[in-house]
A = this chain, B = another copy of it.
Amino acid sequence: MRKVTVFITLKQGVLDPQGKAIQTSLHSLGYQEVQEARVGKYMELQVEDGPDLEARVKEMCDKLLANPVIEDYRFDVEEAVRS
């Protein structure tokens, strides 16, 4: 079993209203030092190992997990830790 961690972020230049709202809220809480906030998605997948695991994860991202028009993605594959 493998643990695949997927990081999905908005492409540079894409407006991030959620990030803007978080930055404004942090400022109102007194954390003026925050200059920018960008929000993305973080997924942990438990995937049975296979010969073309990385290629299939890339397909999963392209087809479903990330929106290729406005999002970038990257992923890490590691040995799953039995919890």
Residues of A bordering B, CB below 8 Å: 1, 7-9, 12, 19, 22, 25-26, 29, 31, 33-48, 50, 53, 56, 59-60, 63-65, 83
Q: How many copies does the complex hold?
A: 2
Check B37–A40 contact: CB distance below 8 A.
no
Tell me which residues across on chain B come within 8 A of A41, comparing CB atoms.
Answer: 39-42
| Contact (A29, B60) CB under 8 Å given A42-B41, A43-B38, A44-B40 | yes
B29 lies within 8 A of A56 (CB): no
- Chain B residues within an 8 Å CB radius of A44: 9, 36-38, 40
Q: B29 near A46 (CB under 8 angstroms)?
A: no
Expressed in whole angstroms, the Cα–Cα distance for A12 and B81 within the complex equals: 14
